[in-house]
Amino acid sequence: DVKVTQSSRYLVKRTGEKVFLECVQDMDHENMFWYRQDPGLGLRLIYFSYDVKMKEKGDIPEGYSVSREKKERFSLILESASTNQTSMYLCASSLGQGAQYSNQPQHFGDGTRLSIL
């Protein structure tokens, strides 16, 4: 079974702090994703990566950056945390991109509930 592990289930930080959320997957997946989930809005894509050292902006990248130095690890960085970044953050991975992988699901971590005070 694919295992996607997020470093923290709950995190409390202060406004202005630099925050790191870590995600590791153990199945050699090419693709990794960071989402946030807010009530009534569903999952919104922040950033994603199709390969090591490669990143692409999702729908809501403002205020975030990412790092993928190794294939198995994808980090989300809040450069200067703000209260509107209080949310549930989900990491996911999938096998690869392209039509040949379109029948492959994404595998999710348990989520990090981040509160910015």
Partner 1 sequence: ILNVEQSPQSLHVQEGDSTNFTCSFPSSNFYALHWYRWETAKSPEALFVMTLNGDEKKKGRISATLNTKEGYSYLYIKGSQPEDSATYLCAFNNQGGKLIFGQGTELSVKP
Which residues contact partner 1 (rule: CB under 8 A)?
A: 4, 31, 33, 35, 40-45, 48, 50, 58, 90, 94, 96-111
Considering the complex, what minimum distance in angstroms separates the CB of residue 60 from partner 1?
12
| CB nearer to partner 1: pick between 82 and 87 | 87
- Nearest CA among 13, 54, 12 for reference residue 33: 54
Q: Where are the beta strands (DSSP E) in the chain?
A: 4-6, 10-13, 19-21, 23-25, 31-38, 42-49, 56-57, 64-70, 73-78, 87-94, 107-108, 112-116
Considering the complex, what minimum distance in angstroms separates the CB of residue 75 from partner 1?
18
| CB nearer to partner 1: pick between 64 and 81 | 64
The Cα diameter of the chain in Å comes to: 44
> 3-class SS at 100?
helix
Considering the complex, what minimum distance in angstroms separates the CB of residue 48 from partner 1?
6
| CB nearer to partner 1: pick between 87 and 94 | 94
Q: How long, in residues, is the chain?
A: 117
| CB nearer to partner 1: pick between 42 and 69 | 42
